[in-house]
Amino acid sequence: MSRPVGSCQQCGAKIEFKFSSAVQTVCEFCQSILVRHDVDLERVGEVADLPPDVSPIQMGTEGVYRNKAFWVAGRILYNYELGGWNEWHIVFQDGVSGWLSDAQAVYAITFPAEPGQILPPAADLAPRHAFRFGDTGYQVTTLTRARYAGVQGELPFEYWNKDEVLFADLRSASTNFGTIDYSEEPPLLFLGETVDFDALRLKNLRSFEGW
C-alpha cells in the first residue's frame, strides 16, 4: 500500500513511501536523499550518477523466497577492488524486510540477526575466524573493504554519508550465509543463506541484449 508522506524539499515532487517502515528514500525526479522524521522529510544530500550496472535485478523486481512473495524496494551499491555489488532491500507481503545480495552472479538473502550477538572488533578478525550462531557454525571467508557508491529507493535506516566500509562474509558447511557489517558501532550482523537465481522466480527484470 502506498503511503503519501509529503513533498521533496528540493523539487516539490510528491513523495510516497511504499514500505511503511522505510526511513530513507531518494526522490525519483531530482535524486535528493530524503530522511523521514515522523511526518516530516529532511533533505540530507543528493545521489550522484550511479555507475553502470550489469545486474538483471532492478527497482520493482518481484520474486519468491520460501513461498513468500517479495519486491525490491531499495538498493545500496558498493565498489571494491574487484568490481562492485548490490545490496537490494526486499520487502515481503507481511511487511518483513531483508536483503538480497547480488555479487557477480552469486546471490544470498539475509535478515538482521536477533540482538545480543557478541561480535569482535574489526581489528581482531581474520579469515577462518569461527563463529556459532544458533545451531550453525560459520567461518570468515573474506574481508572486504568497499566504497559506498550510492543508494536508490527506500531503505529501513539512514544510509547516505558513508565512506569506506568493512564487511566480513561468513560461510557454513551448508548454504547458510552471514555478513558482519562494520559500517555501524556496534557492528551489524545479517544471517541467511545463498540462493539459486532461478529458485527466486524473479520477474520484472532488466532486459539485456541476448537474454
* Secondary structure (DSSP) of 43-92: EEEEPPPPPP---S--TT-EEEETTEEEEEEEEEEEEETTEEEEEEEEEE
* pTM for this prediction: 0.90
DSSP 21: T
| Angle at 171 (CA atoms; ends 131, 141), nearest 5 degrees | 90
Q: What's the confidence (pLDDT) of residue 120?
A: 92
Residue 2: pLDDT band with limits 50, 70, 90 = very low
Q: How are beta strands 3-7 and 14-17 bridged, if at all?
A: antiparallel
Residue type, 3: R
User: Does the structure show a pLDDT above 70 at 38?
Assistant: yes
Query: Rounded to whole angstroms, how far apart are CA atoms 134 and 16?
Result: 38
Q: What's the confidence (pLDDT) of residue 44?
A: 87
Query: Rounded to whole angstroms, how far apart are CA atoms 109 and 99?
Result: 6
pLDDT digits (tens, 9 = 90+) for 131-142: 999 999 999 999
CATH number among 1.10.3470, 2.20.28, 1.25.40, 2.60.40, domain 3-46: 2.20.28
Task: Count the helix, strand and coil residues of the chain and give each as a percent rounded to the nearest 5.
Answer: 5, 55, 45
Name the residue among 79, 130, 133, 142 with its Cα closest to residue 110.
133
User: Does the structure show a pLDDT above 80 at 164?
Assistant: yes
Question: Which part of the chain has CATH 2.20.28?
Answer: 3-46
Which of residues 65 and 55 earns the better pLDDT score?
65
Residue 110: pLDDT band with limits 50, 70, 90 = very high
Q: How are beta strands 136-153 and 68-80 bridged, if at all?
A: antiparallel
Give the mean model confidence (pLDDT) for residues 175-202.
95
User: Does the structure show a pLDDT above 80 at 95?
Assistant: yes
